[in-house]
Amino acid sequence: MTIPPIPENILSLFRLIAFSAGAYIFVFWVGLLVWTFQDIRRRSRDILAQILAVLLVALFNLPGLLIYYVMRPQDTLADSYERSLEEEALLQSIEERLLCPGCRQRVQPDYVLCPSCHTKLQKRCPHCDRLLHLKWEACPYCGQGVKE
Ligand SMILES: [Zn+2]
Ligand SMILES: [Zn+2]
């Protein structure tokens, strides 16, 4: 008993399916590589890290992508840039507050006036005695008005 030959049209259908699946996987794989490359470029300027990330995904596909996802830098370069700006602004405002606006001498945060040039730095709340900004017209601690 012989196995009847598979009809030619069925064979070509199988070939078409195999080809489509192959093409689909290839496009998916290239897509992963492109995504990884663009993602790592936003997170690192290190060429070696970029090559490693793309290689990882090229060799291991989805598991590689998963590993990359866990190990990649959490912040994008834009994020870190923004954060460094924020930190700088914060530092600057602390420095500003600790300098006398009259003579630029260093003053302590609880000084009421500058010991060098006697510029008024802060005022005291007449009700609760806490230090207030000169511009404040009400005390945020006790809620009383402090108009002079
Ligand atoms: Zn001063
Ligand atoms: Zn007060």
What pLDDT score does 74 carry?
Answer: 85
pLDDT of residue 9: 87
- pLDDT at 148 (0 to 100): 65
Distance CA 100, CA 113 (A): 9
Q: Which ligand is nearest to the CA of 115?
A: 1
Q: Closest ligand to 136 CA?
A: 2
| Chain-centroid distance, C-alpha 33 | 23
25-62 per-position pLDDT tens digit: 999 999 999 999 999 999 998 899 899 999 999 998 88
Q: What residues have a C-beta under 5 A from ligand 1, the ion? A: 100, 102-103, 105, 114, 116-117, 119
What pairs with residue 120 in β-bridges?
Answer: 113
pLDDT of residue 147: 75
Tokens of 25: 């996987």
* pLDDT tens track, the chain, 148 positions: 677 777 888 889 999 999 999 999 999 999 999 999 999 999 998 899 899 999 999 998 889 999 998 888 888 999 988 998 888 888 877 766 688 889 988 898 889 999 999 999 999 999 999 999 989 999 999 999 987 6
Q: Which ligand is nearest to the CA of 117?
A: 1
Encoded amino acid at 138, one letter: A
Rounded Cα–Cα distance for residues 49 and 52 (Å) = 5
How far is residue 65's CA from residue 80's CA, in Å, rounded to a whole number? Answer: 23
- For residue 40, how far is its CA from the centre of ligand 2 (angstroms)? 53
